[in-house]
């Protein structure tokens, strides 16, 4: 962006921004004014002088990304969106943190124009930004691998706080960012030494500068002025250096005083999360050269001056568009790919590449998933991902792919545009990075680990669901079936817990073909989803005898039916579907008719019509059994008061899978007993 000479009207704009932060929190009675006050010079400088953006078209492909990782200071962002012309009004600032406003307590992606990601859980924004920076490079490889143009080169700017850097997820993500030499990642750390409990040195005394240099980042320190104000001139010099640094990520450590220049609240924990009070606000406005008797005052000349950034952004966008048109003519195939990716469409017939697995052979669903992943990658160049150091176990390696690592890497078989991401043993950051990749907009990411370690990344999974991002989590070793690794690695409560996250599809396929169809659905639907896949081999169901795997698209379907109305319905997922099939045969030998329902995804089933749900689980059949090798919580909704749930409501043990399933009651005979018990309950 063009940088004009800083003038007194810019100083006035910063003063107004500080006042708006105070006024907005004071009006609603709650919020975080202090950080927004001290960050005002930085935020204004970024949006007015460094960030490449077009407020008229907030989704401009060539824009820089801005992430406010310290989402509690949402006013820092909202005020600049208002100044820049993103559609926020003064009324929106006056409605801060109120129902249905465009200015909620924390920035929400998809809710407020100009917000690139939902932030608030500290550290999450940093991991998102790392994902965005990685996505920039990967997409460069799709569209301009020869480096002929700067059209697809842009920066990711982040503002973070002490709290962000205390969270482990930021350490995980920052370490990987250094390994990846993400030169387009620029992070400003607001080092004000204040959190809710006071001076951060009660818990946070490490040398952040040394830590980030050890990660492989360039670090620039900007000291505060003697009076505590941000040294804006030195800050701008640091921002210029960061902008010019392209071979490693940059951290600017900006020392500041929270709530500056409030006479009594500055530097205090009270200013972090509470309104300053009318008297303190009035005194602060006097120091800022503003009228202490007025609130939410934005002089016309100040707003007009700030809004000029919109014109500069529009002009930059227009220049970009001219070069883009030339690129389209020169590279029609790449241009067609870009158009498809921007429209979020899929190639015609892409699903024909998905494998079909023959019956009569046992295949672990993790292994089937690996084959499907490579098949998808063969037709969707935008599909990429990896694992938290478990690629061989998760089967998340794309066949023939190279590792995504910078050109400076000395590791063999690497490519800066590779499709295999090595996240390292960093589950939480992996989830946040996947979210950032998806937020960037053009590619389809996936990432894998063991299901039991979904606990480590749950915060990122929840945010993926909250933002409705097309991220796919590949969780393998889905039950006690993993065997000898024992209860520390055997997920028991995880599937039930993940199902509690709204808007997340949890998929536990029964065999290889269910896995293939489920992947088709995940890619087609483009929403957050997580697979729970088996370590052990499972029989590939003979679809000439049993229901088609196409039923996976409905989430649950009749796999094996009875003649006429069944006496009992057995609902199962994953490896336990084979037990249900075997139990059906045993029951049939005793003259009891059973319907077997495979339910790989209860969330998809819940989206179907009442008529379909009734056809699968007819209300007249009250005798029901659920079978799943995990806690039984949640199954009562499907089996009713007369139903019996076969589950695992305790931790597992270290032994072979076959022994554990038998020991803990996962056998066809146990299912038969439960079916009879349920039938008896109905008959009472």
Q: What are the tens digits of pLDDT across the range 501-513? A: 999 999 999 999 9
Active site positions, annotated: 427
pLDDT value, residue 3: 85
pLDDT tens string 312-338: 999 999 999 999 999 999 999 999 999
Q: Is the pLDDT of residue 56 over 70?
A: yes
521-524: Cβ within 8 A, 24+ apart: 521/552, 521/553, 521/601, 521/604, 522/472, 523/346, 523/350, 523/376, 523/380, 523/383, 523/444, 524/346, 524/351
Domains and their CATH numbers in the chain: 8-315 (3.40.50.970), 350-539 (3.40.50.970), 551-683 (3.40.50.920)
pLDDT tens string 612-652: 999 999 999 999 999 999 999 999 999 999 999 999 999 99
Q: How many C-beta atoms surround the C-beta of residue 227 within 10 A?
A: 9
pLDDT tens string 252-304: 999 999 999 999 999 999 999 999 999 999 999 999 999 999 999 999 999 99
Rounded to the nearest 10 degrees, the angle between the axes of helix 300-330 and helix 332-343 is 130
pLDDT value, residue 173: 98
pLDDT value, residue 683: 83
φ, ψ of residue 441 in degrees (nearest 5): 115, -15
pLDDT tens string 176-218: 999 999 999 999 999 999 999 999 999 999 999 999 999 999 9
Gap between the Cα atoms of 590 and 464, Å rounded = 48
Tokens standing for residue 180? 């990846």
pLDDT value, residue 254: 98
Q: What's the average model confidence in pLDDT over 72-89?
A: 98
Gap between the Cα atoms of 555 and 612, Å rounded = 11
pLDDT value, residue 168: 98
Q: Which residue has the higher pLDDT, 360 or 174?
A: 174
pLDDT value, residue 410: 95
pLDDT value, residue 98: 98
What dihedral angle (degrees, nearest 10) is formed by the CA atoms of 547, 550, 554, 558? 0
First to last CA, the chain: 77
Predicted TM-score (pTM) of the model is: 0.98
Gap between the Cα atoms of 545 and 581, Å rounded = 11
Q: Is the pLDDT of residue 484 over 80?
A: yes
Provide the mean pLDDT of the chain.
Answer: 97
pLDDT tens string 435-446: 999 999 999 999
Task: Give percent above pLDDT 90 in the chain.
Answer: 99
pLDDT value, residue 637: 97
Q: What's the average model confidence in pLDDT over 513-533?
A: 98
pLDDT value, residue 1: 65
φ, ψ of residue 506 in degrees (nearest 5): -105, 120
């Amino acid at each position: 962006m063009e940088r004009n000479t800083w003038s007194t009207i810019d100083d006035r704009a910063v003063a107004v921004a500080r006042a708006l932060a105070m006024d907005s929190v004071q009006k609603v009675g709650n919020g975080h004014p202090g950080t927004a006050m001290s960050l005002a010079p930085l935020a204004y400088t970024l949006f007015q002088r460094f960030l490449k953006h077009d407020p008229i078209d907030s989704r401009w492909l060539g824009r820089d990304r801005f992430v406010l990782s310290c989402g509690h200071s949402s006013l820092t962002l909202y005020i600049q969106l208002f100044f820049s012309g993103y559609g926020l009004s003064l009324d929106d600032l006056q409605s801060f943190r109120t129902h249905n406003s465009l200015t909620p307590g924390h920035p929400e992606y998809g809710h407020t124009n100009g917000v690139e990601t939902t932030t608030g859980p500290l550290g999450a924004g940093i991991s998102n930004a790392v994902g965005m920076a990685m996505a920039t490079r990967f997409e460069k490889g799709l569209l301009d691998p020869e480096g002929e143009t700067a059209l697809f080169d842009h920066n990711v700017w982040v503002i973070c706080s002490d709290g962000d850097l205390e969270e482990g997820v930021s350490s995980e993500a920052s370490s990987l960012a250094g390994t990846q030499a993400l030169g387009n990642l620029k992070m400003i750390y607001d080092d004000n030494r204040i959190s809710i409990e006071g001076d951060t040195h009660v818990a946070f005394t490490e040398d952040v500068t040394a830590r980030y240099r050890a990660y492989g980042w360039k670090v620039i320190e900007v000291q505060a002025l003697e009076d505590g104000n941000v040294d804006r001139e030195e800050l701008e010099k640091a921002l210029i250096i960061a902008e010019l640094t392209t071979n490693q990520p940059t951290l600017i450590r900006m020392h500041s005083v929270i709530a500056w220049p409030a006479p009594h609240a500055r530097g205090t924990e009270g200013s972090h999360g509470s309104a300053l009070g009318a008297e303190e606000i009035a005194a602060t406005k006097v120091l800022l050269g503003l009228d202490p008797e007025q609130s939410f005052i934005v002089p016309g000349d100040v707003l007009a001056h700030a809004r000029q950034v919109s014109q500069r952004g529009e002009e930059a966008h227009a220049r970009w568009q001219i070069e883009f048109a030339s690129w389209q003519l020169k590279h029609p195939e790449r241009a067609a790919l870009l158009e498809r990716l921007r429209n979020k469409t899929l190639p015609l017939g892409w699903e024909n590449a998905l494998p079909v697995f023959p019956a009569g052979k046992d295949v672990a669903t993790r292994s089937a998933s690996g084959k499907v992943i490579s098949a998808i990658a063969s037709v969707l160049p935008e599909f990429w991902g990896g694992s938290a150091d478990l690629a061989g176990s998760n089967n998340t390696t794309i066949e023939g792919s190279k590792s995504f690592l910078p050109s400076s890497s000395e590791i063999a078989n690497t490519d800066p545009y590779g499709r295999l991401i090595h996240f390292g043993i960093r589950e939480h950051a992996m989830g946040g990075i996947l979210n950032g990749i998806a937020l960037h907009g053009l590619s389809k990411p996936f990432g894998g680990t063991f299901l039991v370690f979904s606990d480590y990344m749950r915060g990122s999974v929840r945010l993926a669901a909250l933002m409705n991002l097309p991220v796919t989590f590949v969780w393998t070793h889905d039950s006690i079936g993993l065997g000898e690794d024992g209860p520390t690695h055997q997920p028991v409560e995880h599937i039930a817990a993940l199902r509690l996250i709204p808007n997340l599809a949890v998929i536990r396929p029964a065999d290889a073909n269910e896995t293939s169809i489920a992947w088709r659905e995940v890619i087609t639907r483009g929403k957050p989803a997580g697979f729970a896949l088996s370590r052990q081999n499972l029989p590939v169901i003979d679809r000439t005898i049993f229901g088609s795997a196409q039923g996976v698209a409905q989430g649950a379907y009749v796999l094996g039916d009875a003649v006429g109305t069944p006496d009992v319905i057995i609902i199962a997922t994953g490896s336990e579907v084979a037990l249900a099939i075997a139990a059906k045969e045993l029951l049939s030998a005793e003259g009891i008719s059973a319907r077997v329902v495979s339910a790989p995804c209860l969330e998809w089933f819940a989206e179907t019509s009442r008529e379909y749900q009734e056809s699968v689980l007819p209300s007249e059949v009250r005798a029901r059994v659920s079978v799943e090798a995990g806690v039984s919580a949640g199954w009562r909704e499907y089996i009713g008061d007369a139903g019996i749930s076969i589950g695992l409501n305790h931790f597992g043990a270290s032994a072979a899978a076959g022994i554990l399933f038998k020991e803990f009651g996962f056998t066809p005979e146990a299912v038969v007993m439960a079916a009879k018990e349920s039938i008896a309950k109905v008959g009472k």
